[in-house]
């Protein structure tokens, strides 16, 4: 019998399922000291937790531990990297809380629009202030959804009955899928300008941290509402504070840097603030508990799980190829355009990489949208892509072409009806990632690392000199450059490694001067 510890308040269905299976001895009790609990049960095989911190010390106190299941989607409270060194798999139950969070968004919007919290307090105090609590209706309003993953799509579905116009922004979702959920896609600045209500459903990472800033907030309508049930760090609080003072923006919040007692930095600007209740429903708790038990059983019976978040790549696969797949997707996405919506992903794996196609697909998905956790498995990656309405094809390859161990990635997408396909091939040479081809530009062999500046343009003399002079004028140094022509000798591509990011206004000015068809600056 395998001992399973459940030191948290979780629906008892988790114990019922495990008991019925017959392989487990379940010890389930809500504890305040996880370390003490661990010391009492050093023979535990599995640990199922909610928000408890599974630290290095806790792991060391459980020498027989082989599996940690987080009954929820996030796993930042678990030292998953240290767990890997002890051959412990860490799993999550993604999607269990999606509907609960979506309904919390709708509840916040309605509660604020109709002043329900303030009106309740007033009425209980014996007052009758109907005129003070004149509200707003959702019907006929425009709601912007930033991030159309699982939660964002459910928000759209829940709001559909209110007869409001739904607009959205997401770097991955296909136009067809957006139309199916009745969401009109647009760029972020336009969304912030048009929406009466904006709900955020994006992760917090290096790219999204502070992205809801003065540039976007200044575009909001006066009196518009911003809802954050995602992550606290995606909003620049100082900019929101100023925008609220200037534009009367309503701010509804359920997320904080730390889920703990104590003062909250947004207390002066939040019109409604909740103690991270988005996922706190009986139904979500039950679903998370049920999934946790089922995942553990499936893991033990089949030996694998698509929900392991700290998996090791196969020893036969060079980690450099994993990074190559990630870099290819990031670069191909940049060519396609940040506002382009995907329609199709096509991959080709050559040579010894063919058996690892599923492993290499995961970093591709992660690079296309930072919302996706690259430590998850192929099944979850396919599920995510399908939910976004994006097709995926892994093509049969012919090694007689001589591409050896290389990867070709094609992305098809665009804005509106304007679709295009961008194709990039890369390989690894002496353990260094190399990009060998971009569309019809061959023999590039540049290393995608650092600040990379790209232009494509009609081939003619003097263009490189123009670009170099313009960069020098803004004190940017060129470290390396590639400048091949296409096979017809009509188009050229200029790829520069530069010492720092090129300011957007300088980038646009250069592109206009050389009449570039594609241009961007990206950090790889």
Question: Of the candidates 43, 51, 38, 92, which has an alpha carbon nearest to the alpha carbon of residue 310?
Answer: 92
State the sign of the Cα–Cα–Cα–Cα dihedral 122, 124, 126, 129: positive
Residue ranges of the chain assigned to CATH 3.40.50.720:
2-96+282-302, 98-273
C-alpha 50/C-alpha 467 separation (Å) is 54
Length of the chain in residues, anyone? 524
Question: Of the candidates 427, 419, 477, 475, which has an alpha carbon nearest to the alpha carbon of residue 447?
Answer: 427
Distances (CA, A) of 108 to 150, 183, 253, 281, 369: 19, 21, 9, 15, 27
C-alpha 150/C-alpha 93 separation (Å) is 13
Q: Summarize pLDDT for 237-249 with one digit per residue, the tens.
A: 999 999 999 999 9
Contacts with 344 (C-beta within 8 Å, 6 or more apart), sequence order: 390, 391, 392, 393, 410, 411, 412, 413, 421
- Read off φ and ψ for residue 463, nearest 5 degrees: -70, -45
Cβ atoms of residues 395 and 347 within 8 Å: yes
Cβ atoms of residues 424 and 409 within 8 Å: yes
Q: Count CA within 13 A, CB hemisphere, residue 9.
A: 5
C-alpha 13/C-alpha 29 separation (Å) is 14
Question: Of the candidates 449, 453, 448, which has an alpha carbon nearest to the alpha carbon of residue 493?
Answer: 453
* Beta strand extents in 400-462 (DSSP E only): 406-415, 418-429, 432-438, 451-458
Q: Within 10 Å of residue 179's Cβ, how many Cβ atoms?
A: 12
User: If 0-12 CB within 10 Å is exposed, 13-18 middle and 19+ buried, where does residue 16 land?
Assistant: middle
Q: How high is the pLDDT of residue 249?
A: 96
Across the range 175-201, mean pLDDT stands at 95
Q: Summarize pLDDT for 416-437 with one digit per residue, the tens.
A: 778 899 999 999 988 889 999 9
Strand partners, 28: 6
Which segment of 56-70, 80-94, 225-239, 301-315 scores lowest on mean pLDDT? 301-315
User: If 0-12 CB within 10 Å is exposed, 13-18 middle and 19+ buried, where does residue 390 land?
Assistant: buried
- Read off φ and ψ for residue 3, nearest 5 degrees: -85, 130
pLDDT at 489 over 70: yes
Cβ atoms of residues 171 and 388 within 8 Å: no
Contacts with 289 (C-beta within 8 Å, 6 or more apart), sequence order: 10, 11, 12, 13, 14, 71
Pairing of strands 142-146, 478-482: unpaired
3.60.110.10, 3.20.20.70, 3.30.70.260, 3.40.50.620: CATH of 319-523:
3.30.70.260
C-alpha 54/C-alpha 77 separation (Å) is 6
Across the range 491-509, mean pLDDT stands at 92
Q: How high is the pLDDT of residue 94?
A: 83
Cβ atoms of residues 324 and 107 within 8 Å: no
Strand partners, 345: 392, 411
Contacts with 88 (C-beta within 8 Å, 6 or more apart), sequence order: 59, 65, 66, 67, 68, 310
Q: How high is the pLDDT of residue 397?
A: 86
Query: Residue 148 — pLDDT band, cuts 50, 70, 90?
Result: very high
C-alpha 410/C-alpha 393 separation (Å) is 10
Residue ranges of the chain assigned to CATH 3.30.70.260:
319-523
Q: Hey, what CATH topology would domain 98-273 get?
A: Rossmann fold (3.40.50)
pLDDT at 411 over 90: yes
C-alpha 398/C-alpha 349 separation (Å) is 10
Across the range 283-312, mean pLDDT stands at 87
Q: How high is the pLDDT of residue 37?
A: 95
Query: Residue 375 — pLDDT band, cuts 50, 70, 90?
Result: low
Query: Residue 304 — pLDDT band, cuts 50, 70, 90?
Result: low
C-alpha 432/C-alpha 446 separation (Å) is 10
Q: Comparing 208 with 275, which gets the higher pLDDT?
A: 275
C-alpha 309/C-alpha 39 separation (Å) is 26
Q: Hey, what CATH topology would domain 2-96+282-302 get?
A: Rossmann fold (3.40.50)
Q: Summarize pLDDT for 7-55 with one digit per residue, the tens.
A: 998 999 999 999 999 999 999 999 989 999 999 999 999 999 988 999 9
Across the range 314-331, mean pLDDT stands at 90
Query: Residue 374 — pLDDT band, cuts 50, 70, 90?
Result: low
Cβ atoms of residues 499 and 475 within 8 Å: no
């Amino acid at each position: 019998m395998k001992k399973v510890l459940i030191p948290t308040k979780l629906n008892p269905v988790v114990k019922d399922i495990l008991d019925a299976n017959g392989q487990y001895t379940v010890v389930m009790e809500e504890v305040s000291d996880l370390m003490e609990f661990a010391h009492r049960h050093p023979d535990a095989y599995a640990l199922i937790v909610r928000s408890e911190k599974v630290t290095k010390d806790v792991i060391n106190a459980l020498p027989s531990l082989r599996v940690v299941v987080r009954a929820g989607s996030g796993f930042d409270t678990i030292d998953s990297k240290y767990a890997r060194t002890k051959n412990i798999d860490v799993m999550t139950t993604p999607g269990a809380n999606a509907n609960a969070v979506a309904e919390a968004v709708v509840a916040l919007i309605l509660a604020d629009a109709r002043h329900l919290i303030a009106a309740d307090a007033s009425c209980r105090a014996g007052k009758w202030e109907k005129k003070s609590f004149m509200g707003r209706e959702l019907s006929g309003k425009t709601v912007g959804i930033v991030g159309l993953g699982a939660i964002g799509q459910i928000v759209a579905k829940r709001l559909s009955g209110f007869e409001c116009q739904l607009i959205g922004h997401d770097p991955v979702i296909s136009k067809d899928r957006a139309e199916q959920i009745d969401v009109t896609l647009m760029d972020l600045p336009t969304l912030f300008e048009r929406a009466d209500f904006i709900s955020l459903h994006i992760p917090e990472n290096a790219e999204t941290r502070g992205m809801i800033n003065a540039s976007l907030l200044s575009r909001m309508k006066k009196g518009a509402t911003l809802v954050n049930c995602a992550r606290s760090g995606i909003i620049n609080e100082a900019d929101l504070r100023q925008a609220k003072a200037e534009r009367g923006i309503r701010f509804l919040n359920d997320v904080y840097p730390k889920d703990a007692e104590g003062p909250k930095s947004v207390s002066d600007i939040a019109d409604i603030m909740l103690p991270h209740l988005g996922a706190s429903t009986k139904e979500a708790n039950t679903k998370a508990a049920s999934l946790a038990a089922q995942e553990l059983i499936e893991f033990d019976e089949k030996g694998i799980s698509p929900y392991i978040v700290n998996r090791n790549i196969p020893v036969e696969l060079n980690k450099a190829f994993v990074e190559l797949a990630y870099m290819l997707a990031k670069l191909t996405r940049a060519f396609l355009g940040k506002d382009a919506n995907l329609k199709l992903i096509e991959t080709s794996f050559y040579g010894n990489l063919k058996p690892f196609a599923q492993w290499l697909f995961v970093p591709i998905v992660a690079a296309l949208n930072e919302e996706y956790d690259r430590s998850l498995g192929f099944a979850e990656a396919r599920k995510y892509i399908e939910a976004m309405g994006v097709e995926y094809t892994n093509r049969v390859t012919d090694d007689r072409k001589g591409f050896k161990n290389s990867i070709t990635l094609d992305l098809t997408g665009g804005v509106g009806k304007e679709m295009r396909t961008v194709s990039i091939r890369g390989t690894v040479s002496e353990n260094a990632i190399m990009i060998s081809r971009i569309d019809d530009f061959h023999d590039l062999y540049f290393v995608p690392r650092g600040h990379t500046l790209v232009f494509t343009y009609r081939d003619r003399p003097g263009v490189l000199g123009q670009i170099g002079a313009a960069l020098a004028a803004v004190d940017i140094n060129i470290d390396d450059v590639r400048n091949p022509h296409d096979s017809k000798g009509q188009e050229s591509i200029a790829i520069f490694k530069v010492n720092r990011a090129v300011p957007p206004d300088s980038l646009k000015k250069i592109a206009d001067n050389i009449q570039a068809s594609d241009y961007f600056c990206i950090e790889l």
